């Protein structure tokens, strides 16, 4: 028999202060899986290189009870010529909570949040599973684009 997990609803909150305080578990697990981008998020925050503080930028965590189970950020895309192009950054969900609807909830939240400021979203992933999730939620592959693997057109907020 196949075990099916019920879709869970995580509590999404905007992060402020020092994200390392609540992201240590995500950093550790992501590195065990060979990913460095969650640690890079923390390091860039500490150094001031990326505080998600320009207009339209946000950094959110997903919680289940007291535990942070996911994170995502949204920046102005530094590679795009258009300041109304956003970049989805550092989306990570703990393995235990994958395939339970948390990733879909986070991506839907990204799209909703981005719609007030951006007309297009870019992201880069090398993960086949992540690409399937993004594509299921409307992102399209952008073959040959040097700085992103997927894009999503949004209604123009202007």
Asked whether the beta carbons of 123 and 134 are under 8 A apart, the reply is yes
Q: Burial code of 72-109, b = ≥16 C-beta within 10 A, e = fewer?
A: bbbbbbeebeeebbbbbbbbbbbeebebbbbbebbbeb
List the beta bridge partners of residue 63.
11, 68
**Threshold 0.95, pTM exceeds:** no
pLDDT by residue for the chain (158 residues), tens digit each? 233 344 467 898 988 777 878 999 999 999 999 999 999 999 999 999 999 999 999 999 999 988 999 999 999 999 999 999 999 999 999 999 888 888 888 888 889 999 999 999 999 999 999 999 999 999 999 999 999 999 999 976 55
Angle between helices 20-32 and 37-47 (to 10 degrees): 150
Predicted pLDDT of residue 16:
75
Predicted pLDDT of residue 8:
62
Predicted pLDDT of residue 156:
65
Strands annotated E in the chain: 11-14, 58-64, 67-76, 85-93, 120-123, 140-141, 150-153
């Amino acid at each position: 028999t196949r075990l099916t997990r019920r879709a869970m609803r995580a509590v999404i909150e905007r992060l402020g202060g020092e994200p390392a305080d609540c992201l240590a578990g995500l950093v550790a697990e992501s590195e065990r899986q060979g990913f460095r981008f969650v640690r890079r998020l923390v390091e860039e925050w500490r150094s001031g290189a990326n505080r998600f503080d320009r207009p339209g930028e946000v950094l959110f965590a997903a919680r289940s009870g007291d535990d942070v189970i996911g994170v995502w950020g949204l920046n102005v895309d530094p590679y795009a010529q258009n300041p109304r192009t956003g970049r989805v950054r550092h989306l990570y969900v703990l393995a235990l909570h994958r395939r339970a609807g948390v990733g879909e909830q986070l991506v839907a939240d990204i799209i909703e949040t981005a719609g007030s400021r951006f007309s297009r979203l870019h992201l880069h992933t090398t993960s086949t599973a992540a690409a399937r999730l993004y594509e299921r939620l409307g992102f399209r592959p952008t073959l040959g684009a040097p700085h992103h693997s997927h894009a999503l057109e949004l209604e123009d907020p202007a």
